[in-house]
Amino acid sequence: KAGVTQTPRYLIKTRGQQVTLSCSPISGHRSVSWYQQTPGQGLQFLFEYFSETQRNKGNFPGRFSGRQFSNSRSEMNVSTLELGDSALYLCASSLDSRNNEQFFGPGTRLTVL
Amino acid sequence: KQEVTQIPAALSVPEGENLVLNCSFTDSAIYNLQWFRQDPGKGLTSLLLIQSSQREQTSGRLNASLDKSSGRSTLYIAASQPGDSATYLCAVQATDSWGKLQFGAGTQVVVTP
């Protein structure tokens, strides 16, 4: 069974640009959660999608958005990039949103110059 | 507000010694607690998931205990090997939250040959 995949693996952008990251969950998983990992803040929850609906959202500005498609694949978008958005972005998939093991992808390393 | 703490932040042991990693959380209203391993620059690998109704979970050389009432979990790794060197993270899923894991800052482990 294939694991969670994320594309691209690395991105370099400049301030003010926007970026879209993609996540394909494990087959049969309908919940996708996104996290930001930085050395200073650790792992922080961005949002969670289940059956194309956002069911939970962390404390991030509106520049961070996401969506989920009917095949459970998910994308997150960051607009008007800031230097502080440089981070490892991880997505995780699980069968459902509650009380299920989460499996993580390899992450997308975003560098904002 | 749930807070997850991992002590110590770093640990160095000689090969063959048993590892004991601690995780504490402030709110006992959780569905489960999950232990992960992260290698530098990589995604998270799920090690063990303990449901809130369980006291412990075992997988090979790994054993994790959970005391929900006192807000503590301990991960034991028997007979450590250099390949166990990594950062270990614990995370809890609260009962009032869809798809969100609350992470500790992690314990960085070095096993010396």
HEC readout, A53-79: EEEEECCCCCCEEEEECCCCCEEEEEC
Please state whether A42 falls in left (phi above 0), alpha (psi between -120 and 50) or beta: left
How much is the pLDDT for B96?
A: 82
* Cα of B79 to nearest chain A Cα, Å: 26
How much is the pLDDT for B1?
A: 87
Q: Tell whether the model's pLDDT for residue B98 goes beyond 90.
A: no
Residue of chain A nearest B92, judged by CA positions: A99
Q: Tell me how far apart the alpha carbons of residues A109 and A3 are, in angstroms, rounded to a whole number.
A: 18
Q: Chain A residues with CB inside 8 Å of B91's CB?
A: 43
Pairing mode of beta strands A87-94, A31-38: antiparallel
pLDDT (tens digit, 9 = 90+) per residue, A58-109?
Answer: 999 999 999 999 999 999 999 999 999 999 999 999 998 777 899 999 999 9
Strands (E), chain A: 5-7, 10-13, 19-24, 31-38, 42-50, 53-57, 64-68, 74-78, 87-94, 103-104, 108-112
* Cα of B17 to nearest chain A Cα, Å: 28
Range B17-34 average pLDDT: 96
Q: Tell whether the model's pLDDT for residue A38 goes beyond 90.
A: yes
DSSP chain B: ---EEEE-SEEEEETTPPEEEEEEES---EEEEEEEEE-TTS-EEEEEEEETT-SEEEETTEEEEEETTTTEEEEEESS--GGG-EEEEEEEEETT-SS-PEEP--EEEEEE-
Q: Chain B residues with CB inside 8 Å of A58's CB?
A: 100
How much is the pLDDT for B45?
A: 97
Residue B15's pLDDT band, with cuts at 50, 70 and 90, is very high
With CB atoms and an 8 Å threshold, state whether A98 touches B105. no
CA angle B81, B10, B100 (to 5 degrees): 95
With CB atoms and an 8 Å threshold, state whether B41 touches A101. no
How much is the pLDDT for A73?
A: 98
With CB atoms and an 8 Å threshold, state whether A104 touches B44. yes
Closest Cβ–Cβ partner in B43, B46, B100 for A107:
B43
The answer to whether residue A20 neighbours chain B at the CB level (below 8 Å) is no
Q: Tell whether the model's pLDDT for residue B39 goes beyond 80.
A: yes
* Cα of B14 to nearest chain A Cα, Å: 27
Residue B103's pLDDT band, with cuts at 50, 70 and 90, is very high
* Residue A47 structure tokens: 């949002």
